[in-house]
Amino acid sequence: MKFALAICVCVAVVYAQNKEVVPETKTRDLPADVLRDFPGSCYASTACRMFQVNQTWPLTPFCGRATCVEGPNGLIERVEDCGMRPKKSAGCKVSNTEELQGLFPFCCPKYSCEPGAELVFPTDEELKEAAEARKSAALGPQ
């Protein structure tokens, strides 16, 4: 009995030392794709079909969902996703790998960090540099 209690206490101490970090989800509005034959509907390229105003669809194979919304200047695709991914951080790892194939928001990664470890997110400057590098790579040598 004492042995079982000791095991439970050890597991509780280890669990209490690791902190789980759940980055915030992000919502943004984009101009909706509208096909000329279906002017009152949003076209979802990830689903290859039309959606009516206020309908929501998953963004599979990405972790997110979108909703067709009437905006002041036409239709809007309101996109919700997991937000910015952190850099690889020593002492932190994804803690919900089994759920990553699920639907939003459950497919968003959660991170478990050891004591003293923190998630580090890219700066705006790093994001700009990465975007320029991808752009240059896509265009090839000039």
Q: Assess whether pLDDT exceeds 80 at residue 1.
A: no
Q: Is the pLDDT of residue 14 over 60?
A: no
Which pLDDT score, from 0 to 100, does residue 75 have? 98
Contact 82, 64 (CB under 8 A): yes
pTM for the structure as a whole: 0.72
Q: Tell me the Cα Rg of the chain.
A: 21
pLDDT tens-digit readout, 88-131:
989 999 999 989 989 999 999 999 999 999 999 999 999 899 89
**Using the 8-state DSSP alphabet, how is residue 62 labeled?**
S
> Model confidence at 86, in pLDDT bands (50, 70, 90)?
very high
**Residue 44 CB neighbours (<10 A):** 19
* Residue type at position 99: E
DSSP 3-state of 33: strand
Find the DSSP H helices in the chain: 2-17, 124-139
Domains of the chain, by residue range, sit at: 20-129
pLDDT of residue 17: 59
pLDDT band at 52 (very low <50, low <70, confident <90, very high): very high
The mean pLDDT of the chain is: 86
**pLDDT grade for 69, boundaries at 50, 70 and 90:** very high
> 29-38 long-range CB contacts below 8 Å, 24 or more apart?
29/69, 29/71, 29/76, 29/77, 29/78, 29/79, 30/76, 30/77, 30/79, 31/74, 31/75, 31/76, 31/77, 32/68, 32/69, 32/74, 32/75, 32/76, 32/77, 33/77, 34/74, 34/75
CA distance 142 to 139: 8
